[in-house]
Structure 1
């Protein structure tokens, strides 16, 4: 995962720039949502054959490998200027302060986002408003909503600019806040849709932001650091969020969702401050 995920994003940064880069990063996140959403729904069916059957979902990697080999152009076959290739090889990649700041934002973002997946079943069941199947459906909707949203990311980024990120975080504040307070299943479904909109805009913006501030010859390294931050955030999320929940509150799933909502409010101010800082330092 650490190998191909970072290359998937950095290859887009190699092949595209400007509005095309924004559009392609939106497509990349949309396809990730397609895979996540479809597989979440498929897993519910596979589990009826036993927990071992769920792992058969990984056979989907086989057609992906075949399609990559057939359609993604090889660097050796591309008509690229030799001088540019030589320059890229000779230039030492470095990490700048802006890249590190954005990596920290992405790390925090995923720590407070991921309870959407592992706390949702507990939330639905503990409130007595649904079943684990409802929780799976809500999460599937959350990921699937990100598909059309991510496809429109390039257009929205071109129109709204840097303010798109605080707006996406505001959607997540509203979604997580609703989940923490409601006892109505329909509102939980609505909150899942709102969170899907925020997620579908925030993730490609994060990759786009990294590509914009990184030195052109260091995009690969910057993207790798960003993905490491994301993966570490996902990995540490249960430890951090459960720890905060037990330390600050009763540790119940609705209070964890409330902590996430407050965390996204904090990220709005932090990300806006970083944007102002980067604008002044240019």
Structure 2
């Protein structure tokens, strides 16, 4: 009897395995932003440090530098050594590095701990994504990639809100949230299978055809546009967790809980796009989804740029969330569907490096912009760039008329 797309999983997969992968995903994309509500207080604690304005954003984005360096390597290790053990180790590294900020004595120690956290994030996101690509295929993969991104958004809501609440006890307390990686490491060892090859999809079409893995040829030409796109999108998006709390302070909104709530709005309203990505992908091309995502993100940033009170800030955050929801599953699903099974760890690592590369570049780019303009104007510039890219992708989707990117 033919199985439906959503039920086409290997025999050894289970609800417990999927729960572990979803929880692992919840630790990843917004891991840097967990301490975002504490940034003003952390900056005040180290006010004597030169260039602390820039360093505050760097503390948030420091894990991304290590993700850029290590994601593809950890993906390669998971291809060679097996995904389960490498994932469990990375979760332990995540917990140790992240929680080290609670006891760090000075700024260099905080930055070092954030770097260790980056190693854990790199492996966790890369291998969790590769697992989903191994276990499902075609429309089912798009569905579960969406669930994975939805779990990351939900984790963002929970961890950013908890970070805002714990900041009320002191700027160090949000660092304790990273200890969630320890029980998940044990759960990964107990519940995850050792995937080999994915099952064939129930049906194929031109938009979702898989590469035959026999040749093990890495699709470099496709990476040549996916990687810069992921880098650019996250550079634009990440002005939110790195700069929004400061923009709110400039408007007289000084509560860290309010900052946490605004960032949680981003992830909350990203959930429909993530959880519904499988449905969305069955109806729209890859290019059209990119175009819509970038357009909503740009509009939200522009609203924040002109906001004068909290309600407008929250409204802009909602628009940004709507745009962000489908971004990462669209990147990951499209690229990994073209990567041979034996190379998927490396493929997932490359996309992960691009996503976190944007997170690392974002505070540097916005810091550079702040040398020439007020923060509100910088939000407007980032928004205009995103809106422009969205229009370009929308036009390309109309002209190309399929899910395939335009070929040079």
TM bucket normalised to smaller: 0.7 to 0.9
2:133 is the alignment partner of 1:8: no
Could you say which residue in structure 1 is the equivalent of 2:359? 234
Provide the secondary structure at the position in 2 that maps to 1:20: helix
Q: Deviations over 1:33-53 (max 9, x none)?
A: 121210111122222333332
2:252 is the alignment partner of 1:128: yes
Could you say which residue in structure 1 is the equivalent of 2:209? none
Report the alpha carbon displacement of residue 160 of structure 1 after superposing the two structures with TM.
2.0
Report the alpha carbon displacement of residue 117 of structure 1 after superposing the two structures with TM.
0.6
CA contact (8 A) 1:169 1:267 kept: yes
Task: Considering fraction of residues, name the structure with more helix.
Answer: 1
Provide the secondary structure at the position in 2 that maps to 1:140: helix
Q: Aligned partners of 1:243 and 1:103: how far apart in 2?
A: 23
Flag structure 1 segments of 5+ consecutive residues without an equivalent. Answer: 81-86
In the TM superposition, 1:51-62 aligns within 5 A as 51-62=171-182
Q: Aligned partners of 1:69 and 1:100: how far apart in 2?
A: 35
Could you say which residue in structure 2 is the equivalent of 1:67? 187
Could you say which residue in structure 2 is the equivalent of 1:32? 152
CA contact (8 A) 2:234 2:358 kept: yes
Could you say which residue in structure 1 is the equivalent of 2:330? 205
Could you say which residue in structure 2 is the equivalent of 1:84? none
Q: Aligned partners of 1:137 and 1:99: how far apart in 2?
A: 35
In the TM superposition, 1:103-122 aligns within 5 A as 103-122=227-246
Q: Aligned partners of 2:198 and 2:247: how far apart in 1?
A: 54
2:223 is the alignment partner of 1:99: yes
Q: Aligned partners of 1:53 and 1:197: how far apart in 2?
A: 30
Report the alpha carbon displacement of residue 164 of structure 1 after superposing the two structures with TM.
1.8
Could you say which residue in structure 1 is the equivalent of 2:321? 196
Report the alpha carbon displacement of residue 161 of structure 1 after superposing the two structures with TM.
2.5
Could you say which residue in structure 1 is the equivalent of 2:204? none
Q: Deviations over 1:117-157 (max 9, x none)?
A: 11111111212356443222100121122223311111111
2:346 is the alignment partner of 1:221: yes
Question: Greater CA deviation, 26-35 or 62-71?
Answer: 62-71
2:302 is the alignment partner of 1:177: yes
Could you say which residue in structure 1 is the equivalent of 2:264? 140
Provide the secondary structure at the position in 2 that maps to 1:160: coil
RMSD: 2.8
- Highest RCO, 1 vs 2 (Cα 8 Å, sep ≥ 6): 1
Q: Aligned partners of 2:360 and 2:215: how far apart in 1?
A: 33
2:387 is the alignment partner of 1:265: yes
Q: Aligned partners of 2:339 and 2:330: how far apart in 1?
A: 14
2:396 is the alignment partner of 1:256: no
Could you say which residue in structure 2 is the equivalent of 1:47? 167
CA contact (8 A) 1:95 1:221 kept: no
Q: 1:236 to 1:279 in 2, by over 3 A?
A: closer
CA contact (8 A) 2:163 2:260 kept: no
CA contact (8 A) 2:167 2:256 kept: no
Q: Deviations over 1:40-92 (max 9, x none)?
A: 1112222233333222112211232233223222348x998xxxxxx96x855
Report the alpha carbon displacement of residue 94 of structure 1 after superposing the two structures with TM.
2.7
Q: Aligned partners of 2:391 and 2:269: how far apart in 1?
A: 26
Provide the secondary structure at the position in 2 that maps to 1:50: coil
Could you say which residue in structure 2 is the equivalent of 1:22? 142
Could you say which residue in structure 2 is the equivalent of 1:83? none
Q: Deviations over 1:96-136 (max 9, x none)?
A: 11112111100011111101011111111212356443222
2:276 is the alignment partner of 1:152: yes
